[in-house]
Structure 1
């Protein structure tokens, strides 16, 4: 019996060591940023570097850690190496991590509130409110992410309007148009900035805090 108990103890210790590999991997803010980026679509090392303001060497080192923890995978296309999440379930894990962190760490909510409060009267709509307005054809829903992310997948009915093209977009639509903006989700502030810019130009504009991943998770459960 003692031998069986020792065997069970060793098994438990080894199991927790394996689980800790994920925890250690997530101890870097930059690796979390890379995972969040990849949750919106596959990318080359160079594109990850451009989006995260890191150099290619640093991105490669972080990707190696993520590879060792089996959180990302890669494929080769010609001379390019393209990285993606190793499993779609990781998106749900990242969403849960965000919700737990926001609930348990008051500084996160404070930082969000401080940022939004520094903008002029930005109105945020819930996902249910956005879907209702889409059904009624009463708004334009704009996706502020880069075009390649939009082309991979987007909320049905949304039009692609990358943040850097917002000025051109504003010139081409009538002022009585109602607009809702969304980007990559709770960790992206482009939707708030776009809503403020649109409002300053005379449009009725709103933001949705959530992105495509949160939208898909929410409406799969409802």
Structure 2
């Protein structure tokens, strides 16, 4: 038996298909959006700024690699993650490897993210403890439909675009901890910067809703 016909080579070839599917920024972006909940191709195209055809093509690659699954609902094709916990863990491992070993990624973070907020973020454990004690206001800056699917307990939902006109809804006597879709979701960085500029004490959660959920921490759902 040649090395090309070996069981090991066959197994690695299949794993390589997963790596190949992850090898595009648009696909990683689509996975982050699907981590908020299942979505139609139309909705994913709008959220990621892709054409319908381009989004469909990338989603097919992710489905073929077993990372997503789809179903038909009327005229729409609905996608979801096949295994939320494992996909989030895979993306997290990729992120940590990149931040440790890729100077280019560290430069992007420094120049595009940390320039908005370089304060140490709040860990999940700290936020769980402080929110349970009523010490902080938890602010979800994602769109309302994502908030409805699942959010942190007691969180207020004020999408970033509405933050300035809805500041009066935030208590001014408690620190605000903002979160959004994940560690590279710039919405929470921009929210914290805007809040600090207006005199609020504000910090970010270390990652986002998907990481909180897949860690087995409590979540809530709403119908609106």
Fold conserved between structures, TM > 0.5? yes
Contact 2:123 2:205 in 1 (8 A): yes
- Candidates 189, 192, 197, aligned match of 2:194: 197
Task: Map 1:109-148 to 2 at 5 A.
Answer: 109-119=106-116, 122=119, 124-148=121-145
Is 1:165 paired with 2:157?
no
**CA root-mean-square deviation:** 2.3
From the superposition, tell whether residues 59 and 142 of structure 1 become closer, same or farther in structure 2 (CA, over 3 Å): same
Task: Map 1:14-53 to 2 at 5 A.
Answer: 14-53=10-49
> Displacement, 1:157?
2.0
From the superposition, tell whether residues 17 and 173 of structure 1 become closer, same or farther in structure 2 (CA, over 3 Å): closer
From the superposition, tell whether residues 143 and 57 of structure 1 become closer, same or farther in structure 2 (CA, over 3 Å): same
Cα deviation 1:3-36 (Å, max 9, x = unaligned): xx65995222222221111111111111111112
From the superposition, tell whether residues 69 and 218 of structure 1 become closer, same or farther in structure 2 (CA, over 3 Å): closer
> Displacement, 1:178?
2.4
Contact 1:140 1:158 in 2 (8 A): yes
Cα deviation 1:141-199 (Å, max 9, x = unaligned): 01111222212111122122222221232133443342110011111111111011111
Aligned to 2:100: 103
> Displacement, 1:121?
6.5
Unaligned runs of 5+ in 2: 218-224
> Displacement, 1:219?
6.0
- Candidates 41, 60, 63, aligned match of 2:59: 63
From the superposition, tell whether residues 217 and 104 of structure 1 become closer, same or farther in structure 2 (CA, over 3 Å): farther
Aligned to 2:220: none
What TM-score, normalized to structure 1?
0.86
Residues in 1 aligned to 2:106 and 2:129: alpha-carbon distance in whole angstroms? 27
Aligned to 2:90: 93
Aligned to 1:79: 75
What TM-score, normalized to structure 2?
0.86
Residues in 1 aligned to 2:68 and 2:117: alpha-carbon distance in whole angstroms? 39
User: Which structure would you say has the larger RCO, counting Cα contacts within 8 Å and 6 or more residues apart?
Assistant: 2
User: Which one has a bigger Cα radius of gyration?
Assistant: 1
> Displacement, 1:218?
4.7
Is 1:213 paired with 2:215?
no
Residues in 2 aligned to 1:108 and 1:168: alpha-carbon distance in whole angstroms? 34
Contact 1:122 1:192 in 2 (8 A): no
Is 1:156 paired with 2:153?
yes
